[in-house]
Amino acid sequence: MFLLQQVLTVHSELIKTYGGSFGVRDLESLQSALNRPFQAFGDTELYHTPQSKASAIIQSLIINHPFVDGNKRIGYFMARTVLLNYSLDIKASENEKYDFVISIAEGKLEIEEIEKWFLVHTIKI
């Protein structure tokens, strides 16, 4: 799981680097998004692969829009962080990554499609 303060710090750095407005719009939505990849029903994880966990966090951060600005950036960053924690990384062109994130933001991809994208575009590092 991710610590809230760490995510807030990363978000601040992304805003400083790439521009935009600082601030959390909905703290509960942010906490929910950060917890979603690690949810379980009893002893069974709902998201049991790195790609499914990355899918859950990117979709939640982008769609829930917990920050004033930079939700797509932090969503991508956190999804990649999940993958890196499992010694995986994303292999895709900048255009492919951009189109992927925008498709999530526009509601064109459901969780299963997001996971499929990650399965195709992740490599062991």
Contacts (Cβ under 8 Å, ≥6 apart) of 79: 54, 55, 57, 58, 118
pLDDT band at 120 (very low <50, low <70, confident <90, very high): very high
116, exposed or middle or buried, with CB in 10 Å at 0-12, 13-18, 19+?
Answer: middle
Gap between the Cα atoms of 81 and 79, Å rounded: 5
pLDDT band at 96 (very low <50, low <70, confident <90, very high): very high
* Domains located in the chain, CATH noted: 4-124 (1.20.120.1870)
Tens-place pLDDT, residues 8-41? 999 999 999 999 999 999 999 999 999 999 999 9
Query: At residue 1, does pLDDT exceed 80?
Result: no
Query: At residue 2, does pLDDT exceed 80?
Result: yes
Task: Give the per-residue pLDDT at 98.
Answer: 98
Tens-place pLDDT, residues 72-87? 999 999 999 999 999 9
Q: pTM of the prediction?
A: 0.95
